[in-house]
Each structure stands twice: as structure tokens, then as C-alpha cells.
Amino acid sequence: MPSEKSCGAIVFAEPGGERQYLILKHKDEHFDFPKGHMKAGETEEATAAREVFEETGLELLFIAGFKDKISYFYTREGKKFHKEVIFFLGKAGSQNVIISDEHEGFFWLTYEKALSILTFAN
């Protein structure tokens, strides 16, 4: 079975001392954190930093000690794939998002609201 690996970040900012999380709206109507496929020779953290910058224009300060992995199966073009996604936690220096062409919107939300809008439970 083919497998894929992506890396990304749970991005937060603290304007006025209130923590808010960045959620991206994809053109296919699902909501998620910024993430993407690893390139040859990249570390997981480097992939996450690159993908966040490409998708949002934000640079992050990664929070030491946070690394989470999810894995799931999906079907594309009649083939079943195993996918592993590594997430880091990163603090953004600003909330000035420059959205990529992959997305049609973004939201800065409280923890509770972010959990309620995410498309996939994991």
C-alpha cells in the first residue's frame, strides 16, 4: 500500500494576550492546519516551517517539546493510501496572513471555536 508523509503546524498568536489558532479553509470546503508533503532531504520541522510560510506567509517560533503524529487511510483514484502527518506547535509573530492559492480563506479562532470548525476529528 502506498504511503505519504506530511508535516505542518498548529499555528497560534496571542494578540492582546488572548491565544488564537489559525485555521485554513481549503477550496474543497474542508478546514485544517497548514501542512504539506516533505521534500527529499528535509527534516520534519523544516517541512513544517516551509509549508506554513508557503501557505500563509507566516514565520514561526516552534514550541520545544510539542510534536504530534496522526495517521489515517484514504482512497484516491481507486487506490488506498496510508498517510502520516506530523504537527508541531508554532507561535506566529503576527496575524498578517497572506493566503496561498490552495486556500480560499482563513480564521483566527479561540481553542474551542477552532476545534468545532476543524473538518477531521483527529
Q: What domains can be seen in the chain, in order of their start residue?
A: 3-117 (3.90.79.10)
pLDDT of residue 106: 97
What the block records as the C-alpha cell of 106 is 482563513
Report yes or no: 22 and 106 within 8 Å, Cβ to Cβ: yes
Q: What is the pLDDT of residues 60-112, one digit of tens each?
A: 999 999 999 999 998 989 999 999 999 999 999 999 999 999 999 999 999 99
Cα–Cα separations (whole angstroms), residue 121 to 7, 22, 83: 17, 16, 15
Q: What is the pLDDT of residues 81-91, one digit of tens each?
A: 999 999 999 99
pLDDT of residue 28: 84
Q: What is the pLDDT of residues 31-54, one digit of tens each?
A: 999 999 999 999 999 999 999 999
C-alpha 63/C-alpha 77 separation (Å) is 37
Strand partners, 22: 108
> Where are the extended beta strands (E) located within the chain?
3-13, 20-26, 31-32, 35-37, 60-76, 79-92, 103-109
